[in-house]
Amino acid sequence: MREGQLKERFAERAADEGLVDVAYTSADSPFGPLLLAATRRGIVRIGLPTQDGDELLAELAERVSPRVLEAPARLDGARRELDLYFEGGLRDFDLPLDWRLSRDFRRRALRAVARIPYGKTRTYAQVATSAGNGRAVRAAGSACGSNPIPIVVPCHRVLRTGGGLGGYGGGLPMKEALLELEGALRPD
Amino acid sequence: MRESLPPFQALLDRHAGEVLAVLRGAVGRVDADDCFQETFLAALRAYPKLERDDNLRGWLMTIAHRKAVDHHRAKGRRPLPVEEVEEVADARADLPEPDSGVWTRVGALPPKQRAAVTLRFAGDLPHAEIAAALGCSPDAARRSLHEGIKRLRKELA
């Protein structure tokens, strides 16, 4: 058997034997390749095209487990839903998520972000309030900035008070394009 | 604090080729496929408990060697048909020419010498790592290697 086949087979066997703590694959998107990573609990990390994949995998090895393998099967559902979403054919993701990379206030803020409906936007201040501390606007902003599961946890739907776009890990053009896709950017 | 371990996939990508070459040298091309799976599954099982990451390659080679030994024990035989050896030589340009018959002779060496020679020349391991793989002292590894090479020279002369 060739080396490539042996490696693929190894990934399957490792997954069958419950030895893959973090499975990952890359998926196409209109913005470039995404890196999708999942634990047995659910999606733990999505890397945007602007982010360095190797760095991201090293971080997962350190923070979750070094048993990180390219094992695409576990990501099939996520890949399918993302494809549909980018085509405009899916409004709500129905994927199990693993929140372990966010703690405390950040996790509460991101859970609040996850509840923002498709096509709607909120301000950082509103996210702070939903997370239980209306004054922690800056912390809400940095929670969005550190969102480990962008797109599925839609931090692109969070804007500045007054309507400014704010920031986005994947670059502002991507944020704008996602909002446009969802029909959330209404012309004035 | 220890350096954190790299993602296992990086280890697989970096070392799959040479692990496969060593295993093909040790058990033949066909059985190397199973030994490859056993080697990396065992490595993945033990990986999070590793204390040091400075010699992951030597660690992997050690496991590969053990799997090859287990394989020979299970089959209760010593290898290696000639055709398989030729393909091993194809897989790695720096191995001896297939028609030289060296690897056939290597396969006929006593187990410890065979292992030492394979790890040294197909696995490119230094003496200390060969010793670790064989579970003996570096001196003993050097001796096995030396004896193995001496015997090969005599047979091929």
Can you give the residue ranges of every domain in chain A?
3-86, 104-181
Q: What share of chain A is helix, strand, coil (3-state, %, to 5)?
A: 45, 15, 45
Does the pLDDT value for residue B61 go beyond 70?
A: yes
Chain B residues in contact with A22 (beta carbon < 8 A)? 7
pLDDT for B86: 42
* Per-residue pLDDT band at B76 (split at 50, 70, 90): low
The rounded distance, in Å, linking the Cα atoms of A13 and A74 is: 13
Q: In terms of Cα–Cα distance, which of B76, B77, B67, B72 is closest to B43? A: B67
Chain B residues in contact with A45 (beta carbon < 8 A)? none
Least confident piece of the model among A172-186, B66-80, B93-107, B142-156: B93-107
Read off the pTM.
0.78
Chain B residues in contact with A60 (beta carbon < 8 A)? 7
B62-73 per-position pLDDT tens digit: 999 999 988 888
Does the pLDDT value for residue A26 go beyond 70?
A: yes
Q: Which CATH number fits domain A104-181: 1.10.10.2840, 3.30.1450.10, 1.10.10.10, 3.90.1150.10?
A: 1.10.10.10
pLDDT for B73: 82
A108-155 per-position pLDDT tens digit: 999 999 999 999 999 999 999 999 999 999 999 999 999 999 999 999
Interface test with B, best of A10, A21, A44 (most B CBs within 10 A): A10
pLDDT for B104: 67
Does the pLDDT value for residue B39 go beyond 90?
A: yes
The rounded distance, in Å, linking the Cα atoms of B40 and B56 is: 12
B7-B11-B12-B13 Cα dihedral, nearest 10 degrees: 100
Which of A152, A155, A158, A159 does the annotation list as catalytic?
A155
Does the pLDDT value for residue A7 go beyond 70?
A: yes
Which fold would CATH assign to domain A3-86?
Double Stranded RNA Binding Domain (3.30.160)
Q: Taking CB atoms and an 8 Å cut-off, how many pairs form between chains A and B?
A: 64
- In the numeric block, which tokens belong to residue B119? 């790890």
Q: Among B6, B17, B20, whose Cβ lies nearest the Cβ of A61?
A: B6
B32-43 burial, b if ≥16 CB within 10 A, otherwise e?
bbebbbbbbbbb
A155 is known as an active-site residue = yes
Quote the ipTM score: 0.91
